Amino acid sequence: MKRRLNRIFLRLYSDFGPQHWWPADSSFEVIIGAILTQNTNWANVEKAIFALKERKCLNPKGLLRLSSRRLGNLIKSSGYYNIKAERIKNFLRFFFRFYSADIRRMGSQDLAALRSQLLAVKGVGPETADSILLYALNKPVFVIDAYTKRIFSRHRILAENATYGQAQDIFMGNLKNDAKLFNEYHALLVKLGKDYCRKQNPKCEICPLNGQ
């Protein structure tokens, strides 16, 4: 399994190159993007991020000062905007309470302890929590998403009904425990899922992993 996972990574990296993911100007922006990207595509998130930047409120105090209604209107493009506004507010309350809205202080926390704290925030599930840990805080945790499950179930590495934890264990148990590797691997899988391993009309014949 270790060899196969590493072979897949090298093949994707050779074909696609570095992905420079997550695209953001700050760790805090990554966190907000991780919440906004739930159940939508990145293009819609970018519009919401732009609206927050234009309003000059893409910072902890700025977002906390906004009413939930106003915040929801600004992030409308991301879909489920009222729910996401409340989730952002929930995170902000946690962020101020436990870490005084200090990213470096938050990043110094033990990985397991911080992950448990994040999962206790209403509206933050495993994928969102792990995206925050990996992409905002550079913690070595592998993010599992729909693309990852689809790709690896089609290649018979994962069962179609595998849980998040079962899927994550495959990667974290067989890859070097390295945040940079996890970051690039996951980003490459997103690229593959979007361009080739689509839910409908997958391009299996020209997929870089054809025969892998």
CA distance 164 to 161: 9
How much is the CA Rg of the chain, to the nearest whole Å? Answer: 18
Q: Domain check: are 87 and 181 in the same one?
A: no
Domain end point (choices 136, 162, 178):
136
- pLDDT per residue, tens digit, the chain (212 aa), is 999 999 999 999 999 999 999 999 999 999 999 999 999 999 999 999 999 999 999 999 999 999 999 999 999 999 999 999 999 999 999 999 999 999 999 999 999 999 999 999 999 999 999 999 999 999 999 999 999 999 999 999 999 899 999 999 999 999 999 999 999 999 999 999 999 999 999 999 999 998 76
Q: Domain check: are 132 and 31 in the same one?
A: yes
Domain end point (choices 136, 157, 192):
136
Q: Domain check: are 102 and 63 in the same one?
A: yes
**Cβ-count burial of 92 within 10 angstroms (0-12 exposed, 13-18 middle, 19+ buried)?**
buried
pTM (2 d.p.)? 0.95
Q: Domain check: are 177 and 80 in the same one?
A: no
Contact 55, 74 (CB under 8 A): yes
Q: Domain check: are 74 and 162 in the same one?
A: no
Helices 179-195 and 2-16 pack at an angle, to 10 degrees, of 70
Residue 102 within a domain? yes
Residue 212 within a domain? no
pLDDT of residue 140: 98
Mean pLDDT of the chain: 96
Q: Which two tokens stand for residue 117?
A: 């704290």
Nearest C-alpha neighbor of 134 from the set 91, 84, 184, 88: 184
Q: Domain check: are 111 and 68 in the same one?
A: yes
CA distance 177 to 2: 12
Q: Domain check: are 15 and 66 in the same one?
A: no
Total domains in the fold of the chain: 2
Q: Domain check: are 35 and 109 in the same one?
A: yes
Q: Domain check: are 83 and 105 in the same one?
A: yes
State how far the alpha carbon of 154 is from the alpha carbons of 149, 173, 204, 209, in Å: 8, 20, 10, 11
Q: Domain check: are 124 and 146 in the same one?
A: no
Q: Domain check: are 127 and 44 in the same one?
A: yes
199: CATH: 1.10.1670.10
- Which structural domain range is residue 182 located in? 2-20+142-206
Alpha carbon of residue 43 to chain centroid = 15
Q: Domain check: are 94 and 127 in the same one?
A: yes
CA distance 29 to 141: 19
pLDDT of residue 211: 74
> Within a 10 A sphere around the Cβ of 114, how many other Cβ atoms?
21
Domain end point (choices 118, 136, 154):
136
CA distance 70 to 82: 10
128: CATH: 1.10.340.30
Give the chain's end-to-end CA distance (angstroms, integer).
12
Residue 211 within a domain? no
